[in-house]
A and B are shown apart, each in its own frame.
Chain A
Amino acid sequence: MGVTILAQFPVENKTGPQIIEVLSKRICALGATPQGQFLVDCETFTSVPALGHQRTVHVLHNSEQPATVFALLETGTKTIPLVTDGLFDLLIMKMISFYQSKKHTKTESKGPRFEIGDFSVKLGTVNITSNFKGILVEVEYKPCVVPAMCWDLIMEFMQGFLGSSGPTAPPAFLQNRMQEIYSPIDTIQQYLEHFTIFRKSTGPTMVMRPQQP
């Protein structure tokens, strides 16, 4: 598991499949080989009023860690991450009377996966309850585990095939953690950060509590 950077790619009057095709061609022209598909999904649950102060649990899966379930609990003052095995999915189903699934929030990013040198690149189409929302590009540099050491290198790589749409600053979530050892939950936090922005963009009914930095 290396350092992973997630960035949004602007849509600009194009359809999702068109952008994915353009980006796939570009990355393959650079020498990448397709390596199947990937999927990151997120479902959000909120505590029932009977439990008092409302809390939110985001449950995420990543096809890179197929045996793991990630849960992020937002208490309002902080976010508590939890990394568990597959049984957590069953547990959350049992808790239906305390934590209820938020309507129309099932979000996923899925698409093709590529390997190029020691990088892996994922081009994700983001859908919220099967409505197209945007494109997320994930780049992982596998040999390095400290973001501060390889940020410039990853940025150069991303600008190489995303052009001026590539990131110019580290993701907000990582900015305070640049010196720490990177782990899979950090990728999940970045996905949640973007999913939250996508959900907000649909209108006032979808507004959620802002993510803690």
Chain B
Amino acid sequence: MDRDIEQLNSALNSVKILRSNVRRVFESVSNGLRADHGEEIKENRYILELQELLTTVNNNLRDVENSVANLTPPPGAFNLGNTTYLSQETTQDRQQLYGQLVNSYKWTDKIREYSALAGNILASNSFNKTYKTFGTTKRRKTQTSNHNVPPEIIENLITSIDRLFSDVTITASRPFVPNPVIQVALGRVLRAVIAFKGLMIEWVVVKALSEGSDVWTESRYKVFRKVTENCHAAMCHFHSPLMPDLAVRSFMHWFHSYITLFSAPCKRCSKHLHSNLPPTWRDLRSLEPYHEECK
């Protein structure tokens, strides 16, 4: 254990050194020729300096690779051990510890999962490959600009939707980013987490208001999992590459009809329940409620 931590420390340290030296390369490149390069043969001096820096970076990179190779990946999920007893703690000021512990456990678990995925992807896409093959001008022309728009435009779109419906509350945890993830609370009925890719809706997850607001986990309730499924169908239906903002608006308009998810009976069978679910489908044009089986 101690040895593992030592190795982890030295690996982290070499990453730190690598980062700081890469930074120096970029600094040097951005500053260009400086006064202290002198008057004569200043270009040569500058190139020498750059070469030196790059050699250091190369060495650092080798160090990182070596120290990472020494690490043993953790065998499986971490065991909480005795700390689980913290949940039974009765002292007020220690009760919070358990919640924090569980949260950080979730984080490490997620980091493990994502880093494993990232590792696989990076391994199959080695950075030695050149990107020239992709960068043809022909390809660039056909690309629409829907997923590469200034954050302000997306921001304006979101604000205008927010104003459109009085019972819709939109919160964006990180506003003014090119690909924002927003949370849309629909009255006291449900909450959707919507991930944008530029002006296009890329992913939707519908959950109860009491559930967490990340995009990865699905709701624990059947009704919201069904609505999530239907949102994906509608997202594809309304998708329009030429008028992306209209697509988002139409989707939101349709989505707003779920305000009656629990209260409106099915248009066809006039009942509330079918297979113990309320009408989870909304007609794409008329916005009328239907059961999955009745649409």
Which residues of A does B touch, CB under 8 Å? 1, 30-31, 85-87, 116-119, 141-146, 148-150, 152-153, 156-157, 160, 181
Contact = CB atoms under 8 A, between A and B. Distances in A.
Interface string B202-218: 00000011100000000
Interface string B257-284: 0000011010000011101111000000
B129 interface: no
Nearest to A142: B221
A143 B223 contact: yes
Given A85-B90, A143-B224, A149-B188, A118 B276 contact: yes
B262 A150 contact: yes
Nearest to A32: B276
Contact of B223 (A116, A118, A160, A181): A118
B222 A153 contact: no
A118 to B, nearest CB: 5
16 contacts: A86-B90, A116-B276, A117-B276, A117-B277, A118-B221, A118-B222, A118-B277, A119-B276, A143-B190, A143-B208, A148-B263, A152-B265, A153-B263, A156-B273, A157-B272, A181-B188
A1 to B, nearest CB: 8
B287 interface: no
A146 B90 CA distance: 32
Contact of A160 (B190, B210, B263, B273): B273
A156 B272 contact: yes
Contacts of B262: 141, 143-144, 149-150, 153
A142 B210 CA distance: 11
A150 B263 contact: yes
Contact of B275 (A117, A144, A149, A150): A117
Interface of B: 90, 188-190, 208-210, 221-224, 262-263, 265, 271-273, 275-278
B272 A152 contact: yes
A30 B263 CA distance: 22
Nearest to A153: B272
A157 B273 contact: yes
A29 to B, nearest CB: 13
A98 B201 CA distance: 63
A86 B273 CA distance: 39
Given A30-B276, A143-B224, A153-B262, 15 more contacts: A1-B210, A87-B90, A117-B275, A117-B277, A118-B223, A118-B276, A119-B276, A143-B221, A144-B189, A146-B188, A150-B263, A152-B265, A152-B272, A156-B272, A156-B273
A207 B210 CA distance: 41
A152 B265 CA distance: 9
Contacts of B188: 145-146, 149, 181
A152 B263 contact: yes
B273 A145 contact: no
A30 B276 CA distance: 9
A141 B277 CA distance: 10
Contacts of A118: 221-223, 276-277
A83 B103 CA distance: 26
Contact of A145 (B209, B263, B275, B278): B209
Contact of A157 (B222, B223, B276): B276
Nearest to A143: B221
Contacts of B208: 143, 145
Contacts of A149: 188-189, 262-263
Contacts of B189: 144, 149
Nearest to B207: A143
A144 to B, nearest CB: 5
B271 A156 contact: yes
A141 B276 CA distance: 10
- Please indicate which of the listed interface residues B265, B277, B278 has the most CB atoms of chain A within 10 Å of its own CB: B278
Contacts of A156: 271-273
Nearest to A144: B262
